[in-house]
Amino acid sequence: MRNVFFCLFTLCLGIITYAQGSNKGFEEGFAVLASGDTLKGGIKFKSGDEIKDRITIKISEEEKRTIKASELKSFIAGNETYITYKLDEGVVFLKELAYGAIELYELQIPYSQGGADTYKYEMYYRKHGETSLTLIKQGSWKKQIAELIADNAALAHQVEKGKVKLDELPTVIKNYNAQKE
Assign 3-state DSSP to the chain and report helix, strand, coil percentages, each to 5. Answer: 30, 45, 25
How far apart are alpha carbons 127 and 122 in whole angstroms?
17
Q: Is residue 38 part of a domain?
A: no
Tell which residue, 85, 18, 19, 72, has the closest CA to residue 45.
Answer: 72
- Please say if the pLDDT value at position 176 is more than 90: yes
- Whole-model pTM: value is 0.79
Q: In this predicted model, which residue has the larger pLDDT, 121 or 32?
A: 32
Kindly give, in sequence order, each residue whose CB lies less than 8 Å from that of residue 74, ignoring residues fewer than 6 positions away: 31, 32, 81, 82, 83, 84
Provide the residue range defining the domain that includes 179: 79-181
- pLDDT, position 113: 76
**pLDDT confidence of 120, banded at 50, 70, 90?**
confident
At residue 20, the pLDDT reads 41
Question: Distances from the Cα of 81 to the Cαs of 53, 73, 133, in angstroms?
Answer: 15, 11, 17
Q: Is 90 exceeded by the pLDDT of residue 121?
A: no
Q: Please write the tens of the pLDDT for every residue from 123-148.
A: 999 999 999 999 999 889 999 999 99
Domain count, the chain: 1
Residue 172 lies in a domain: yes
Residue 48, domain member (yes or no): no
The Cβ-side half-sphere exposure at 1, using a 13 Å CA radius, reads 0
In a domain, 56, yes or no: no
With cut-offs at 50, 70 and 90, classify the pLDDT of residue 16: very low
Q: pLDDT for 79-116, tens place per residue?
A: 999 999 998 878 989 999 999 999 999 998 777 777 77
Mean of pLDDT values over 60-87: 92
Is residue 37, in this structure, part of any structural domain at all?
Answer: no
Residue 93 lies in a domain: yes
**Is 91 inside any structural domain?**
yes
CA angle 123/127/128 to nearest 5° reads 115
In a domain, 74, yes or no: no
Q: Report whether pLDDT(76) > 60.
A: yes
Count how many residues are written for the chain. Answer: 181
Q: State how far the Cα of 73 lies from the Cα of 178, in Å rounded to an integer.
A: 25
Task: Supply the mean pLDDT for the chain.
Answer: 84
Residue 24 reports pLDDT greater than 80: no
d(CA 104, CA 126): 7
If you average pLDDT over residues 73-81, what whole number do you get? Answer: 93
